[in-house]
Structure 1
Amino acid sequence: MTELLLNGFVTLFVIIDPLGLCPLFLALTPGASATARRRIALQASIIAFVILLVFALAGLAILESLGITLGAFRVAGGLFLFTIAFELVFEKRQERKGKSAEAAVEDGAGTSDHADVAAFPMAIPLMAGPGAIAAVILLSGSLPGFAGQGALVAVIAVVMLATFGFLLVADRLDKLMGRTGRAVITRLLGVILAALAVQFVADGAAELIASNRS
């Protein structure tokens, strides 16, 4: 279970990409005080945690009600995560996230209601987006039972706490890392996520083949 939890933490951390969120967070909160940014970061982290928690605990039930096997979802989810990894390596995902942030700023969310910024676009879709939701459902299928589900909740909580920590020091991190530093780290994390995504696909394909034979 320890290896699964570690893989789950890495997968979720890379998908949410707290380091990549920092410049977007700053763009969404122009002129905000440190206290205001701390409140926005906390609200966004809590909202994203609740969303991911719901899908972690109820995601498999939703799949079963739709007649989707876990093996099929592992293959589909793995392919989806591989697409995200591809975007990370070639810096396409940051561009897409940036467009969401720019849209929110143009709508005035960045200058008026901080609660709106926390919910959209910070919590949804920048933090608890389709990739993160797919990841927690996949992890939920690999960690059955009360102990496994409890461990998954703990992993989600740790990732969200780490994300909150990154957002608290977003201005300092952005100055320290710079564009080049962020690009290097993001590409390395993208390669790791690609490998994990391939493993999801392989496990799902093996499960589908085994179920067809039986």
Structure 2
Amino acid sequence: MDTEIIKIILAFVVLINPFSALTLFLDLTRGYSMPSRRKVAQISCLAIFVTIAFFTIAGETLLKVLGISIGSFQVAGGILVFLIAINMMNGEGNPVKPDQDNFDVEHVHEVIPSTASAVVPLAIPMMIGPGGISTVIIYSSQISGLWRVSAVIIAGFCISIFCYLCLMAAGRISRFLGDTGLNIMSRIMGMLLAAVSIEIIVSGLRTIFPSLL
């Protein structure tokens, strides 16, 4: 498999990190029957896949319309991802995703139907937020050819399936890992994400200053 595809799969796993949304999913679906809970998980993961596919296809065009160079966006996106990684390693979570402790789940149920809450806030921005969308745009701007574009979309589909499986096993995973296990996993993912962010920044600098690097 192409190393760039491996990088984006790694970035997807770490940035989307469905484990960070397990508590919110359990709160949003408290009292639901299993078919209703399954429907919420399906809609949420479909929203993740559609978001990844859309920005994979339209990401580079969007940058051109806004007059943003690929190199500049790579550096800016890499810095954003690096800040996310630092916060994750410090145990502070993802700074560009909402804090679950501040969610009034009962209020969300009042103003948003259950199927809509599967998209907002569960899928967006809880699982795929600005960092994930930026990463999709960055990698989509670096690839060309039907095969590579298809490979990224397939990677997004695989991550969506992974998220679905995690949500459906949310209760068991939360009981098995506990708060300590989830914090340890967040720190490990933060380390991996930091390495991915440096690769993005270096690639952006190489694009802006080809003679420097």
Correspondence 1:51 to 2:51: yes
Q: Which amino acid aligns with 2:57?
A: L
Contact kept, 8 Å, 1:82 with 1:193, in 2: the verdict is yes
| Residue equivalent to 1:13 | 13
Q: RMSD across aligned C-alpha pairs, in angstroms?
A: 2.1
| Residue equivalent to 1:196 | 196
| Residue equivalent to 2:179 | 179
Return closer, same or farther for 1:133/1:101 CA change in 2, 3 Å cut-off: farther
Correspondence 1:26 to 2:26: yes
- Aligned equivalents of 2:177 and 2:183: distance in 1? 9
Of residues 101-110 and 176-185 in structure 1, the stretch that sits farther from structure 2 once superposed is 101-110
| Residue equivalent to 1:128 | 128
Of residues 92-101 and 8-17 in structure 1, the stretch that sits farther from structure 2 once superposed is 92-101
Q: Which amino acid aligns with 1:14?
A: V
| Residue equivalent to 2:114 | 114
Q: Which amino acid aligns with 2:4?
A: L
- Aligned equivalents of 1:126 and 1:103: distance in 2? 11
Correspondence 1:69 to 2:69: yes
Q: Which runs of 5+ in 1 are unaligned?
A: none
Deviation digits for residues 1-26 of structure 1 (CA, Å, limit 9, x no counterpart)? 62111110010110011122212211
Of residues 20-29 and 73-82 in structure 1, the stretch that sits farther from structure 2 once superposed is 20-29
| Residue equivalent to 2:42 | 42
What TM-score results when the alignment is normalised by the length of structure 2? 0.91
- Aligned equivalents of 2:152 and 2:158: distance in 1? 10
- Aligned equivalents of 2:95 and 2:144: distance in 1? 36
- Structure having the higher helix fraction is 1
Of residues 138-147 and 194-203 in structure 1, the stretch that sits farther from structure 2 once superposed is 138-147
What TM-score results when the alignment is normalised by the length of structure 1? 0.91
Correspondence 1:73-84 to 2 at 5 A: 73-84=73-84
Return closer, same or farther for 1:65/1:118 CA change in 2, 3 Å cut-off: same
Percentage of matched positions with identical amino acids: 30
- Aligned equivalents of 2:79 and 2:43: distance in 1? 31
- Aligned equivalents of 1:123 and 1:57: distance in 2? 20
| Residue equivalent to 1:4 | 4
Q: Which runs of 5+ in 2 are unaligned?
A: none
Deviation digits for residues 84-121 of structure 1 (CA, Å, limit 9, x no counterpart)? 11121122226875635743514242897211221210
Q: Which amino acid aligns with 2:163?
A: T
Return closer, same or farther for 1:127/1:44 CA change in 2, 3 Å cut-off: same
Of residues 24-33 and 60-69 in structure 1, the stretch that sits farther from structure 2 once superposed is 24-33
Q: Which amino acid aligns with 2:24?
A: L
Q: Which amino acid aligns with 2:125?
A: P
Q: Once the 2 structures are TM-superposed, how far is the Cα of residue 143 of structure 1 from its aligned partner? A: 2.0
| Residue equivalent to 2:139 | 139
Number of aligned residue pairs? 212
Return closer, same or farther for 1:64/1:149 CA change in 2, 3 Å cut-off: same
Return closer, same or farther for 1:210/1:111 CA change in 2, 3 Å cut-off: closer
Contact kept, 8 Å, 2:84 with 2:96, in 1: the verdict is no
